[in-house]
Structure 1
Amino acid sequence: MSQDTPPKWITKLLERFLDPYLFNGIYGDLLEDYHDNLQTGKRAQANRIFVLSAMGFIRYHSLLNFQGKNQNTTSMDIWINYFKSSIRNLTKNKRNTFISLLGLVVSFITAVAIFQYCYFESSYDTFHSQSKNLYRVSHIFTNSSNTSQHATTFFAAKDAMSNEIAEIEKATHIFNVTGIIKKDQEVYEEDNVIFTTPQFFEMFGFSLIQGNYQDLEDPDVIMLPQSIALKYFGDEDPLGKILEIQNMFGENWEMKVAGVFEDFPANSHLKTSIMLPMSRLIHTGEAGNIFGNAITFDQVKWRWLSFHTYMKLTEGADIDGVTESANKIVERNRAPVNAQLNQKHAIWLQPVNEIHTTTGIEMEPFPTIEKKVITLFLLIGIFILLIAWINYVNISTARAVTRGKEVGIRKVMGSYKSQLRMQFLLEPFILNVAALVLAITALVPLIPFLESITDVPFFTSVLDNHLLIGLVIGIVALGSVLSGAYPAFILSNYETIEVLKGKFGFSSKGVMLRRVLVVVQLIFSIFLVASLLVVQSQMQFMLDHELGVNIDRVILIDGPVNEVNNDNYEGKMETLKNELLAISGVQTVSTSSLVPGIENIWRGSTESRNGEEAGVFLHRGFIGYNYMDLYDIQLLAGRNFDRDFETDRTALIVNELTVKNLGFESPQAALDEEIHFTDGSFKIVGVVSNFYQRGVQFAFEPMTFQLDTANTGNYLSVKVATSELNHVAVSIEAAYKNIFPDSPYQSRYVDDIFQAQYTSEQRFRNLFTSFTLVALIIACLGLIGLSSHLMNQKLKEVSIRKVLGAANSQLFVILNKEYVLVGIVSFVLTVPLIMILMQQWLDNYQNRITVHLGFYLVPFFVVMGIILITTLGYTLKVIKTNPAVTLKEE
């Protein structure tokens, strides 16, 4: 900058906002004063005086009304004119505006719901301050029959790995149990109870409201989430208060409340839990109260495969190197047992923020979701938005004849292409903004419904989700450009005389654009209908599939675990069973450690068979004498447990898959053979058919059953002979409370438990159904608006054909053949999508339907039927039009 000139930027502003004939005089006077100020003061002071003086000439009205080059009106007047013209065009075509606006409103609401759902499902565990360095030690288990992945690993893994691997900064592990909590003579059953270490809080960053997390080292303390503290103590200060944990591994513990922490966020794979110190579990194990005295706790540490273990690695740690070192530790410590059981164990470090979106891992504490499902819903959201925008483009191009005259006149009057383009872009922008405002207004009362179908906390997280808010604003901007760009840039480029003749409306470009966009719409529609048909069929297949067990009219009661170690427990349970059998309508009663519909976590490997190492991984369970009869499980060979056989205490009943995995040729061949586990040898006395322990989306599991002679099973199954389940349930609860008054009564229906296995699939089906219907509705709205314009354009052609003798059936074919041809093209293009994507989705299920020809043809005919029904009214209106009325001016 020259020492004799003022700041250039203010000079440019003056030149920009002042008329040329004013600028020279004003600038000359200001410059003269500027030089005078330089002579008498400092340069900074002279610059400041010049800027202030210059700003005085740039007044508010000048900013709004400055004269542009080669323009006859002010810029603000031009924008006001654009806006008025846009509003006039939108209100002039009320039906089309309403159709476009309604489609956009519905699409915005649906897209926001979809994107919020996808955002929430993808946000699990991303809130931890060090989430990128947090990993779970997941487990790969291989035996002689299969390989499986587990979310848990060995008890000793945490200490062994953190002591030997330098890159592990912190480590903790969790053991999940169900606890019976007693306070003031009231007894509560809490499902989410965990043993853990103080490092849990350091690693995950969950905040303590009261207390110190280091107190979790003390084996006599308990820490409560805020919601549970409020449940037990109300407004009282819970610190120092005593809660009794009843019969945890046969012990009663009086635990002092040492801390209260915030409830975990909803998007955490760890759910809010009562916390007990891991040191208490260790003391109990060392005392022999978990596994007995036959095996020491030190011997169990590398066998107990039930701990969710987490590690925080140092910044920049070599993940592959840490994994390799960890596997060497596992191999070294498990070598003797692995050789004995013919097993292999390996671990892999799973990022904590990927746990919720990784499926196929056993022993997960809570349901997960596939990334492919999230991606699919994202695509559906985009599909729905595109369909709504395509509706506007189709209607805009169909109206090109009318708009063409407007454009021609504007060009004759001297409008530039840039002005025409702004006009065409402003209309969809106004429409999209109006749709956004209406969508937000409608969203508030729809929040409960959206939360019910998406099962995510919608309202609060939307307000906090700045990414989603930015995305919605971006959608409005993008939608405005996409839906207005083609008419704006193509129509404005046509020569004035061609536009005035209306050539664009019937040009190859205009017609081809509409056809391409309709094809895109129909591809989306056919694909969604086909996908919906596959999803509904798969769900119905799963619901109707033969389970191998009869779960109808079975009431399941949680056993009184706080009474199990009492001396008179076995007698009291026997009394309860007899009282239940005396109730009118009760048919059969049995205790068990497992029931259909609940994952069985007790598993073991055979040590040998006939002197040979076997290492077959089997699911184990305890059942009562009547269990097989109660659930109608088919006996294939041998017999059920029988009170007349004293040896049944060391007997086993196995299923077909166990027979196969053990290498026996037939169920009969397995009878009287022995299976050796760590806790003893057991003789096979019976073989039953395979059945689904969990939902049919899982494979059969190799099962073994031992006799529950002490009635210590976790569950009591009650088969009811009558359909009046609720009436009988009241009597069952009364009998239970009469025998076990100090135990909480918890009951469920087994068929409800089985239905819960399909919760994620049911939610997926409901969401997919809702979004598909929305997409079809929006597509139909667009077809209504498009067909009305196209039919009106063909009025003269139809009238001439009628005059020449064309029959109504011929006219119907002529008016609709384009839709049919476009539909056929769309169908051909959609078939590969259905074939590839739906087959990939079905591959996630062990038992699935076969995609046959009907899954392709039915959606095509459904969509074509919707199209013909949608356009039928306009077709009949055109056909019935009197030719004399249409042609009177020709």
Structure 2
Amino acid sequence: MLQNYIKIAIRSLLKFKGYTAINLLGLALGLTAGILILLYVLDEVSYDKFHANLDRLYRVETSFATTESVNKKSYDANGWPIGAKLRDYPEVESVVYAKDASGLLILHDNQQIRQKMYFASPEFFHIFSFPLVKGDPQRALEAPYTIVISETMERKYFPGGDALNKTLTLADSLTFAVTGIMKDLPGNSHLQADMILSFATYPLLNSQFSYEEGWGNINVRNYLLLKPGVDIEAFQQKTAGMYQEHAGEEFKHWGITASVLFQPLRTLYLTSHSNGMGPLGSLDRLYLVSGIAVFVILLACINFINLTTARSVYRAKEAGLRKVVGSTRYTLIFQFLSESLLLTCCALLVALMLTTAILPAFNLLLDKQYTLTALTSPAVLFSIALLVVVVAVLSGYYPALVLSGLRPADVLKGKMQYSVRGVQLRRSLVVFQFVISVALVLGTLIVMNQLRYMQEQSLGFTTEEVLVIDASVVRTANRDVFQTFGDKLRAQAAVSQVSFANALPGRRGWAGQVAWAAEGRSEDAVTVEYIAVDEHYADALELQVIAGHYFDLKRTAALKDGLVLNERAVAMFGWASPADALGKRIASPSGYPAGEVVGVVRDYHQAGLQQAIGPIVMDYNPQASDLYAVRFQSKDASPLTASIHTLWNEHFPGHAFHYSFLHESFERQYESEQRLAQVFGLFSGVTVLIAVTGLLGLVSFMVVSRTKEIGVRKVLGAGVWNITRLLSREFLGLVLLANVIAIPVVWFLGLRWLESFATRVPLHPGIFVLTLVIVAGITVVTISFQTIRAALSNPVDALRHE
């Protein structure tokens, strides 16, 4: 019996090749979109899920609030003693100390090489499921100056053989013994490192570090493994006041309160707002993309329903004859569902081929390395099989119900009746398709418009023709070499200015520094971004000084004690105007920033326009700088870059030359928005294509059902234009209705999304008009193909049976 159903299904699908091809294409496109998004979702939700004790793992965070505000900010770093104090609690099984160590460069073949590295305490390989292929995971990080490297690093630095017990030289003279070889950390880990250094080394490199003091030094990270059965909520309440208990007066003096938070590792990647140790995801973006996948697949199902219904007039006699010879309604439903299932399975095969072809470009778009092997787990395969069945049932059940419900006598006499309810349903499905299509097209235009708006705004400085040289790779006690190199850069004919600082737009300075107006109270402290600069910083970036003066070598007092603020900092410190701020003093518990205000620059965007301009305090401190900003005049930077590279090798032999252009590095802050626009554009194109094929099916259905009416109208003198307008008017009305439904929803959601940007484009009605024109134009082209052909048909063919 089943074999017979399959044979009939194949015969039927091959008989109507055109409809089958369109149905196959629609379903394949929907399933392709679904598979691509499934790969994305599987990767996003898999982060950190491979750890054995995942349910008991937490990252310790610090939450700050200024005393006059209830707004809190959390950081993924903690004061030095936090981890040591947590070890004393009976609920805690183990605590890890971790700190970024990428500033320690590896000396290899007379070259200084930067790798991703952490300092980590010995518990690292106990808490986290990162297996060692060589070495003892319990003792590998116990002793100072020991290091665990990945298998890739072993092949890179020890190509001749086993690296265990051999040495690596870091920071020119620090010798580390290799005590373990670990597997490369998985790509779906929020921790990403090539090498792990023993944390016991860190106090030897930083003599000020202490496990007992330094509550305000928020620069180490801690991870926590709780004992089984611990109530995290109760433990959170028990430990929240650690900062206030041990250093409450110190924080009060700074005008802030601090508390301890625990972030579950299982949700960290998607829900954390701060992740200095690796990649960071977005739960909102995951929901958005998953929603798009559901809608695209639904549209493909709707497309199938409309096309199959349009074909029902050709299948009606078949259904009638089968009923006459004894087929029941249920066997007919099963037959038509068999066709739907067979077509869906074929569509899945086509979708897998399309996915294989598209995947490299999709990986490039998202900067990922997805492979189809992610789909081979039993759970995913079962989900895909279930999806195929669901799609087949959703697509085939309604047409099967319609065809199996026809009365044989009416069908065999050619009296096909179409219920008002059925017509309304098909129209509603088309409207739904276009609502989703319009929404995605509008979403794409809104994201692209916001991106273009941010790129066109004045930044308050000049990004073009500025070369940025990263000197952080250089570790030397002789700071004079940096000054000499800067002087040689200024001597280049194409160079107009050179500055040396610790931050540039797009590369943040020391954010989160606490300061207050000296004549005020420490309780009124604000957090500012501290930037160490030289006397050329304002000229190199073309910042505008609006009060006082910038740093000048002739004003030695200002160099020692002077500070330059932006307008936002002036306002936050409570001064009436930039001129009013001159001569006032700023105090800080750490000494950075502290001094007298000697100048104010006009506000400029240190970070991307997603964020509001924050308070900035500049201090003359070239000794703390590691970035050169080289403003040049030549349109072709290649000769200058080659010349600077030569100078670099002369002054910093053995150190890699890393450079970029300021406008490019600043634009990289918009990568997330650019990818979102590309994803929206991709899937809006898919939904429009699917909607168009669904519309084609409904037009075909209408033309067939009104063939005699068209014939009569032509006999009575109606021309091609009259008939085309008659048939098109209904569908343009459906598209207009879809816009009326979609536009208010997208307007609301668009405003909500734009609220996340400090600088945002107003939602102009022109975007919505443009969307209506685009969708209406595509609709006219689609329906004209069928309606004009119907209008040109011979009325004799339509009326010969009357």
**Is TM (by shorter chain) over 0.5?**
yes
Instruction: Check if 1:357 corresponds to 2:357.
Output: no
What residue is the counterpart of 1:332 in the other structure?
Answer: 245
Match of 1:274 in 2: 195
3-state DSSP of counterpart to 2:86: helix
Q: Which moved more, 1:199-208 or 1:232-241?
A: 232-241
Q: Do the aligned residues in 1 keep the contact of 2:118 with 2:193 (CA within 8 Å)?
A: no
Cα deviation for residue 602 of structure 1 reads: 4.8
CA distance in 2: counterparts of 1:451 and 1:743, whole angstroms: 32
Q: How far did 1:370 drift?
A: 2.1
Q: CA deviation at 1:565?
A: 1.4
Q: What secondary structure sits across from 1:457 in the alignment?
A: coil
Shift of residue 310, structure 1, vs aligned partner: 1.2
**Corresponding residue for residue 609 of structure 2:** 696
Say if 2:496 is the partner of 1:575.
no
Q: Deviations over 1:148-167 (max 9, x none)?
A: 2222221211111221x322
Deviation at 1:685, TM superposition (A): 0.5
| Contact 1:105 1:438 survives alignment (8 Å) | yes
Equivalent position SS for 1:217 = coil
Question: Which residue of 149, 167, 172 corresponds with 1:242?
Answer: 167
- Tell whether the 8 Å contact from 1:326 to 1:347 is kept in structure 2 after alignment: yes
Q: What SS does the corresponding residue of 2:61 show, helix, strand or coil?
A: strand
Structure 2 residues without counterparts, runs of 5 or longer: none
In the alignment, which of 571, 580, 584 is matched to residue 673 of structure 1? 584
Partner of 2:502: 593
- Equivalent-residue separation in structure 2 for 1:584 and 1:615 (angstroms): 46
Shift of 1:180: 4.0
2 CA distance for matches of 1:726 and 1:92? 63
Q: Give matches, 1:71-110, under 5 Å.
A: 78-110=1-33
What's the secondary structure of 1:619's corresponding residue?
strand
Asked whether the equivalents of residues 80 and 218 of structure 2 are also in contact (C-alpha less than 8 Å), the reply is yes
- 1:481 equivalent among 372, 384, 393: 393
Return the offset for 1:104.
Answer: 1.5
Q: Does 1:229 align with 2:150?
A: no
**CA shift for structure 1 position 298:** 6.7
Letter in 1 for 2:342: I
Partner SS for 1:138: strand
Q: TM-score if structure 2 supplies the norm length?
A: 0.95
The answer for the alignment partner of 1:872 in structure 2 is 784
- 1:44-102 superposed Cα distances (whole Å, 9 cap, x missing partner): xxxxxxxxxxxxxxxxxxxxxxxxxxxxxxxxxx3333222212221111110000011
Q: Is contact 2:242-2:259 (8 Å) kept?
A: no
Q: Is residue 108–residue 169 contact of structure 2 (8 Å, CA) maintained in 1?
A: no
Question: CA 1:393–1:612 in structure 2 vs 1: closer, same or farther (change >3 Å)?
Answer: closer
Q: Is the 8 A contact 2:570 2:581 kept in 1?
A: yes
The CA deviation at 1:297 is 4.7
What is the one-letter code of the residue matched to 1:347?
Answer: V
1:149/1:546 CA distance change after superposition, 3 Å = farther
Percent of pairs identical after alignment?
A: 29
CA distance in 1, matches of 2:282, 2:413: 56
1:533 to 445, 448, 451: 445
Preserved CA contact (<8 Å) 1:405 1:500: yes
Which position in structure 2 is the counterpart of 1:615?
A: 525
Report the AA paired with residue 140 of structure 1: S
CA contact (8 A) 1:505 1:511 kept: no
CA deviations over 1:728-773 (Å, ceiling 9, x no partner)? 1110111011111132221111222112212222222212211111
d(CA) in 2 for partners of 1:127, 1:888: 72
The residue matched to 2:140 in structure 1 has which SS? helix
2:181 to 245, 248, 260: 260
Q: CA deviation at 1:117?
A: 0.6
Offset of residue 557 of structure 1: 1.1
Dislocated runs of 4+, deviation >6 Å = none
Q: 1:791, 1:878 within 8 Å by CA — same for their partners in 2?
A: yes
1:802 correspondence with 2:726: no
1:686 correspondence with 2:609: no
Contact 1:399 1:505 in 2 (8 A): no
Distance 1:633 1:503 in 2: 81
Equivalent residue number for residue 554 of structure 2: 644
Q: Is the 8 A contact 1:285 1:297 kept in 2?
A: no
SS in 1 for 2:105: strand
Query: Post-superposition shift, 1:246?
Result: 1.2
Distance in 1 of aligned mates of 2:86 and 2:211:
16
Is residue 404 of structure 2 the alignment partner of residue 492 of structure 1?
Answer: yes
* Paired residue type of 1:670: A
Change (3 A) 1:460 1:217: farther
1:468 matched to 2:389: no
Number of residues paired by the alignment?
Answer: 795
What is aligned with 1:153?
78
Separation in structure 1 between the aligned mates of residue 229 and residue 758 of structure 2, nearest angstrom: 40
Between the aligned partners of 2:657 and 2:312, the Cα distance in structure 1 is: 72
Q: 1:503 to 1:651 in 2, by over 3 A?
A: farther
Partner Cα separation in structure 2 for residue 442 and residue 138 of structure 1: 44
The equivalent of 2:39 in structure 1 is 116
1:362-409 CA-to-partner distances (Å, cap 9, x unmatched) read: 463444232121111111111111111111111121222222221111
Q: Which has the larger radius of gyration?
A: 1
Following TM superposition, by how much is the alpha carbon of 1:461 offset from its aligned partner in structure 2, in angstroms?
A: 4.6
Question: Aligned match of 1:137 in 37, 40, 60?
Answer: 60
Does 2:38 match 1:127?
Answer: no
Per the alignment, do residues 611 and 872 of structure 1 end up closer, same or farther by CA in structure 2, a change over 3 Å counting?
A: closer
1:651-670 aligned within 5 A: 651-670=562-581
The one-letter amino acid paired with 1:583 is Q
Partner Cα separation in structure 2 for residue 776 and residue 611 of structure 1? 61
Residue identity opposite 2:451 in structure 1: M
SS at match of 1:188: strand
Are residues 1:624 and 2:547 paired? no
Are positions 1:196 and 2:120 aligned together? yes
* Contact 2:513/2:527, CA 8 A, preserved across alignment: yes
Contact 1:654–1:686 (CA under 8 A) maintained in structure 2: yes
Q: 1:373 aligns with which of 270, 279, 285?
A: 285
2-structure distance, mates of 1:563, 1:441: 52
TM-score by length of 1: 0.86
> What is the alpha-carbon distance in structure 2 between the residues aligned to residue 136 and residue 504 of structure 1?
68
Give me the CA root mean square deviation.
Answer: 2.1
- The alpha-carbon distance between structure 1 residues 502 and 863, as it changes in their structure 2 partners (threshold 3 A), is farther
Aligned to 1:179: 103
Q: Are residues 334 and 152 of structure 1, via their aligned partners in 2, closer, same or farther at CA, if it must alter by over 3 Å?
A: same
Match for residue 746 of structure 2 among 818, 822, 834: 834
Work out the CA distance in 2 between the residues paired with 1:299 and 1:174: 17
Moved more, 82-91 or 602-611: 602-611
Residue 879 of structure 1 aligns to which amino acid in structure 2? A
Q: How does 1:711-730 map to 2 (within 5 A)?
A: 712-730=624-642
Residue of structure 1 in register with 2:470 after alignment: 558
Query: 1:285-434 residue pairs with structure 2 within 5 A?
Result: 285-286=206-207, 288=208, 297=210, 301-358=214-271, 361-362=273-274, 364-434=276-346
CA distance in 2, matches of 1:467, 1:138: 35
Q: Which moved more, 1:201-210 or 1:457-466?
A: 457-466
Query: Structure 1, residues 282-302: CA drift from partner, whole Å, max 9, x if none?
Result: 23333x5xxxxxxx8578520
Deviation of 1:501 (Å)? 4.8
Aligned partners of 1:155 and 1:305 also within 8 Å: yes
Q: Give the secondary-structure state (helix, strand or coil) at the position aligned to 1:140.
A: strand
Q: Equivalents in 2 of 1:701, 1:201: separation in Å?
A: 40
Structure 1 unmatched runs, 5+: 1-77, 289-295
Q: Using a 3 Å threshold, how does the CA distance of structure 1 residues 868 and 560 change in structure 2: closer, same or farther? A: closer
| Residue pair 2:93, 2:225 contacting (<8 A) in 1 also | yes
Q: Supply the distance in 1 between the matched residues of 2:92 and 2:668 (Cα, whole angstroms).
A: 38
State how far apart, in whole Å, the 2-side matches of 1:800 and 1:886 are.
Answer: 8
SS of the aligned residue for 1:551 comes to coil
Flag the 1:810–1:463 CA change in 2: closer, same or farther, 3 A: closer
Residue of structure 2 aligned with 1:212, choices 136, 141, 144? 136
Cα distance in 2, alignment partners of residues 363 and 686 from structure 1: 35
Change (3 A) 1:242 1:485: same
Please report how far the alpha carbon of residue 260 of structure 1 lies from its aligned counterpart in structure 2 after TM superposition: 1.4
Shift of 1:502: 5.4
